[in-house]
Amino acid sequence: MTAGNASGQNDAASMCLVTTPEKADELGLTPLVRLVSWAVAAVAPNVMGIGPVPATEIALAKADLQLSDIDLIELNEAFAAQALAVMREWGFGAADRERTNVHGSGNITGSSGRRYRRQDAGHAGPRAQSSGRALRAGNHVHRRRARPCRGLRAGRAAVNTPLADLTVVEVSSFVAAPLCGMTLSQLGAEVIRVDPIGGASDIHRWPLAANGTSIYWTGLNKGKRSATIDLRSSEGQELVQRLIVEGDGVVVTNAAGLSWLSF
């Protein structure tokens, strides 16, 4: 998923009927799935991507289930950093990933969401002898003050900053990489953005504030540290390399032709 193709499968129509067992019998309908439990949890806005962790904990507790009881897991994967942080909190290994997002995922809206539900319902699951339980976990942003949620263990610092031990050096321009860096920063990573002299290509992208500052570009780079370096000079390139290696950083880039930035 990228910022360019998120929620792209929208040229369609579908419906989903939610009813009681009694009404389904009356109408002669065969249920595809049974809704066992659900929950909503609020987290701080700057770490909204970690929301599936406390919400899942509450939903499972209400149903007296464990995450290990679930055959199929559909996790909002609009951006890889968000999904990786959630799976890290869940303590997932290779076997757990085999039951997660088996039909793909993302910001699944409208008909796309219904299509995934239908595929999940028809999937036997990796453990055929089980009852075929599936979990759907996602994020929604609401402009409302977050309150502690019943069922969420107090003092879980890792929920707030799951990527606190990660250093990211971002050398990029267009939307996808700066958006990736912003997401990593919101999840606790230290993100150092490297800009060329004069700014990157999107530095003046609309909309603009009254003083000419790009609201768009500023929004993508909030929470990051910044270094302006002459990337055309050998000295500047060496400085970026040192910033990455000596800082034990992970590189995020969508800039082409930077052979000096290769491993």
pLDDT value of residue 134: 66
pLDDT tens column, 30-85:
988 888 998 888 888 778 788 899 999 999 999 999 999 998 888 887 677 888 89
pLDDT value of residue 234: 94
Q: Where in the chain is the domain with CATH 3.40.50.10540?
A: 163-253
pLDDT tens column, 193-246:
998 898 887 888 888 888 988 888 888 888 899 899 999 999 999 999 999 998
pTM above 0.85, yes or no: no
Task: Report the C-alpha gap between 58 and 159 in whole angstroms.
Answer: 14
Q: What architecture is domain 163-253?
A: 3-Layer(aba) Sandwich (3.40)
* pLDDT bracket for residue 111 (50, 70, 90): low
Task: Report the C-alpha gap between 173 and 179 in whole angstroms.
Answer: 10
- With contact defined as beta carbons under 8 Å apart, do 56 and 136 qualify? no
Which tokens hold the place of 186?
A: 């919101």
Q: Where in the chain is the domain with CATH 3.40.47.10?
A: 34-158
158, exposed or middle or buried, with CB in 10 Å at 0-12, 13-18, 19+? middle
Residue 7 has pLDDT above 70, yes or no: no
- The strands making up 190-195's β-sheet, listed across from edge to edge, are 225-228, 190-195, 167-170, 250-252
CATH no. for 34-158:
3.40.47.10
First and final CA of the chain: distance in angstroms? 24
Per-residue pLDDT averaged across 170-185, rounded? Answer: 83
